[in-house]
Chain A
Amino acid sequence: MTITTRWPRLSTKITSVTAILEIHELVKRYRAPGGATNVVVDAPSFSLASAQQVALRGESGSGKTTFLNLIAGILAPDGGAIRIDDADITRLGESARDRLRAKQVGYVFQTFNLLQGYTALQNVELAMMLGRGVDHAFARSLLEKVGMSDRLHYRPSQLSVGQQQRVAVARALANHPKLVLADEPTGNLDAANARTSLSLLRELCETNGAALLLVSHDRHVLEQFDDARDFSEINRAATSTEAAA
């Protein structure tokens, strides 16, 4: 499929598969305490096809989290457009963005961001409740796939870092999202755990037909991706010394 004329800059890149994510002239600025305005994200064009897996390499403070938060609709951009599954989220109201995020986007955070008072199963099921509705069997099967079937009723504080990361992966896939965002998902894991977790995340995304956009500064992680790019290729602001998150 070719992207419509509304997205001319993308048309040259995506030619044969459905784009699940399309970004056009995305800009995000922050006002510094001194009053100066810093551009954190300035991404002219980026797209991700359905089931595509892309890793972005970037150093700390290069605006990767801000970039993912913009895509997830957690942050509102100062300019440009973000299209997820044909919906321009920058034109959606906050509530509609929340709905879309709940149903279409899975997010694996660097610190996992599991809800502390909830069990592993509740963390996954709560995401379902906020998204497409609870499917107990699927929630359990996801946790089983990530090797947590014997820890369903454990709270995050009772789990190792690696186990928490696996629960976070299961939660990200709970609503059959079309897009999974992963922000330094192995940043808190040792090398062995990082490899296992990353393989698991990629495999589950592939199995569920979800596109994966991962950002990391870890070259071991990036080596595992066929499509690994420098974040600065996408975000012009990342090369700037002013860029910060």
Chain B
Amino acid sequence: MTSGDAHPSRLRAVALIVRRSLGRHAFASAVTILASAMASGLVMAVFAIQHQSEQAFTGGNVGFDAVLGARGSKLQLVLNCVFHLDESPGNIPWSVYARLKADPRVRLAIPYAVGDNYRGFRIVGTTPELFRDYRYSGDRELKFAGKGRPFEPTLREAVIGGFVAARTGLRYGDHFHPSHGISLDETDDDDDHDHHAHDEEYVVVGVLETTNTPIDRVVWIPIEGVFRMGGHVLRGDGDVYVARPGESIPDERKEISAMMLKFAAPTVGAELDNVINRNGKEMTLAWPIANVMLGLFEKFGWITRVLRLVAYLVVAVSACAILAAVYNTINERRREFAILRAIGARKSIVFSAIVAESATIAALGAMLGFVFYGVIVLVAASIIRSQTGVVIDAWSFHPALALTPPVMIALGALAGVVPAIKAYSTDVSANLNPHS
């Protein structure tokens, strides 16, 4: 006879009972496990995507402290200039840029001029300083793939983001015509005969390595090119001015959509905020950028709460599914429980076996839930990236990843209590028929 003590044996008995039951009810068990997995994956994904999105959109990888643009919404400025979404609220004179560029309190000032696109990707006119002085995600500089280089400010040259290159197929040395407007005209599906295409032809002189920031989704050209693009007019001094070939554009005629600013000291933002936002009437300083985006998340916090509520409900439904699935087997298993009791199983073993069975279904669901989590997060990350250029870190740790499985298992075990009580109270003698 075995020398092992009885307690591990009872655990083995419970494990065997659970295993056999799951095997006998394989289809129902599999469906319930799948439902639990989807619930588990969904709740983890909701928490993780919400957290990672907030981190990505409000984190410090933007590389600028503020956006200065026409009077209007700070959020619109940030969405337009940082994430290259939304419309530009208007233009500001070049002189503002020139003045701030010379201001010792400003470490970096980069002008943006928008208004065109190439196959739906924003074309932003700017200066080569962007490629030389701009740093993102701390101190990372923009790098060119292969033999790429910054554009010459006076030539029709372009630098494209990594995502643009991947999506459009544009490569170093390729030529393209910008189209008018900041988004793709869906009615114009003929690439070779774009009715909105400008006559100017640009050559790609650089493809940026992927940064996992909105920069990846932009086509960069010299700002002079935007000023001189056919059909564009400038109103830097209030009057309409159309640039003519061979003539330099007077600075007072120039205007830009916005200016990206990096300050020399943290206090500068507050100073400029006071001058521009509180006491000025013509421009808006979106500062600090992270706070503006945080405001957006707070404004739409109810969406997150609704999503979480839905996720909680899905988890509750999956717990109910476990309860129903296990409960439905109890009647047909009454004889099994009676036999178990008759050969010496204590009530606690029968009870434990049912609770363990429910918990096992939940545990297997929680494990499989990571697959669903991965799929949901990857799909969401792909959508977010294609829409904004922002890459969320699908595999970064979030406490929900650690908490969800034990919570699911606990809920599963809880769901097993009702059927366990039913099994526990099986009348042994009555279910061991026949009597003689």
Bind each other: yes
- Shortest A30–chain B CB gap in Å is 11
Inter-subunit contact A116/B336 (CB<8 Å):
yes
Inter-subunit contact B436/A245 (CB<8 Å):
yes
Q: Does B6 touch A at the CB level, under 8 Å? A: yes
Find residues 84-125 in chain A having any chain B CB closer than 8 Å to their own CB: 94-95, 98-99, 101-103, 105, 107, 109-111, 113-118, 122, 125
Please, which residues of chain B bring their CB within 8 A of the CB of A69? 429, 432
Stretch touching chain A among B78-86, B180-188, B342-350, B413-421: B342-350
- Shortest B435–chain A CB gap in Å is 4
Please, which residues of chain B bring their CB within 8 A of the CB of A99? 344, 346
Minimal Cβ-Cβ distance residue in B for A72? B342
Find residues 5-26 in chain B having any chain A CB closer than 8 Å to their own CB: 5-6, 8-10, 12-13, 16-17, 20-21, 23-24
Q: Does A191 touch B at the CB level, under 8 Å? A: no
Q: Does A176 touch B at the CB level, under 8 Å? A: yes
Main secondary structure of the interface of B (DSSP, over half): helix
Q: Does A146 touch B at the CB level, under 8 Å? A: no
Q: Does A11 touch B at the CB level, under 8 Å? A: no
How many chain A residues touch B (Cβ–Cβ < 8 Å)?
51
Please, which residues of chain A bring their CB within 8 A of the CB of B16? 118, 122, 125-126, 129
Complex Cα distance A175/B343, Å?
10
Please, which residues of chain A bring their CB within 8 A of the CB of B429? 66, 69, 74-75
Please, which residues of chain A bring their CB within 8 A of the CB of B2? 128, 132-135
Please, which residues of chain A bring their CB within 8 A of the CB of B24? 117
Once A118-B20, A129-B12, A183-B436 are accepted as A-B contacts, the answer to whether A74 and B341 lie under 8 Å apart by CB is yes
Q: Does B330 touch A at the CB level, under 8 Å? A: no
Q: Does A215 touch B at the CB level, under 8 Å? A: yes
Once A95-B346, A98-B345, A113-B342 are accepted as A-B contacts, the answer to whether A135 and B1 lie under 8 Å apart by CB is yes
- Shortest B44–chain A CB gap in Å is 34
Inter-subunit contact B428/A126 (CB<8 Å):
no
Complex Cα distance A134/B428, Å?
24
Please, which residues of chain A bring their CB within 8 A of the CB of B20? 115, 117-118, 122
Complex Cα distance A171/B428, Å?
18
Minimal Cβ-Cβ distance residue in A for B13? A129
Interface size class of B (residues with CB under 8 A): 35 or more
Inter-subunit contact B342/A126 (CB<8 Å):
no
Q: Does B146 touch A at the CB level, under 8 Å? A: no
Inter-subunit contact A245/B435 (CB<8 Å):
yes
Q: Does A184 touch B at the CB level, under 8 Å? A: yes
- Shortest B338–chain A CB gap in Å is 8
Once A75-B429, A102-B343, A118-B20 are accepted as A-B contacts, the answer to whether A95 and B348 lie under 8 Å apart by CB is yes
Question: Can you spell out 17 A-B residue pairs with CB atoms less than 8 angstroms apart?
Answer: A69-B432, A74-B341, A75-B429, A101-B342, A113-B342, A126-B16, A129-B9, A129-B10, A129-B13, A129-B16, A130-B344, A130-B349, A131-B344, A132-B1, A133-B4, A171-B343, A184-B436
A-to-B contact residues, CB < 8 Å: 58, 60-62, 64-66, 69, 72, 74-75, 94-95, 98-99, 101-103, 105, 107, 109-111, 113-118, 122, 125-135, 138, 171, 175-176, 183-184, 187, 215, 217, 245
User: Sorted from nearest, which 8 A-B pairs have the closest CB atoms?
Assistant: A102-B344, A129-B13, A133-B2, A65-B435, A245-B435, A130-B344, A98-B346, A133-B9
